[in-house]
Amino acid sequence: MSKAFVLYLNDNLIGIFDNDNAINNFIEGGIQNKFFNKENTRIDTFIMNSCYNINQKEKKPVVIDKEKKEREEELEKKKKEYYKSEEYLKNAQDKIDLVSQINKIKYDKKLMIEKNKLYNEDLRLFELFTKEKIKDINFVIPPLFELKYPIFEKLTLENKLSFDNFLEEYEKVKPENNYDMFTSNSYEQKFKSNKSFEMEFELQI
């Protein structure tokens, strides 16, 4: 008894085959190349030269696109409702606050490293100026170092010289319009080339 294998995709006939190997190979190739899903196909087997469908009772249900669309619309509706909910807005604000805190921590860490670096540079200048004062009683502390030198001197005498202690003392005396903890050390080079300090000192930002 000869058979004919009829292949449907979403209830549309797309091929007739004379053996089951051929139709199975065709389906596997279509699935492999993502032309269709197996769930959307069905095979009807007919006796050749007849209208008798051998597996009529085994007919598989077809996924209706309308139902899929309705599910997608319902899901989209729920998403929009959630995006307007207090829960979503609170979670979003919490994430924004967390990112802001992390960025501030990173910035503060970077700033502290830079200030520590400048502190070490000023410490070297303090030692340099102290030696110069010993050599020359008329030596004048550069204007840009006038606030810091007494702090270094005080902490040194008290044996409390450290970055943290210096920062604490400097905060007490720094001018209100001083937006940075340390001024530039550009005067270091001028000190080496001109110890009279008669020229103006540049402030690097």
pLDDT of 104 above 50: yes
The rounded mean pLDDT for the chain is: 79
According to the model, what pLDDT value does residue 129 have? 93
Candidates 124, 123, 126; CA nearest to 163 is 123
Q: pTM for the full model?
A: 0.43
Whether 205 shows a pLDDT value over 70: the answer reads no
Tokens of 151: 């702090």
Q: What is the gyration radius of the CA atoms in the chain, in angstroms?
A: 42
Q: Above 50 in pLDDT, residue 119?
A: yes
The whole-number pLDDT of residue 131 equals: 94
Select, from the ranges 62-66, 92-96, 165-169, the one with the highest average predicted confidence (pLDDT). Answer: 165-169
Higher pLDDT, 105 or 4: 105
Average pLDDT estimate for 146-152: 93
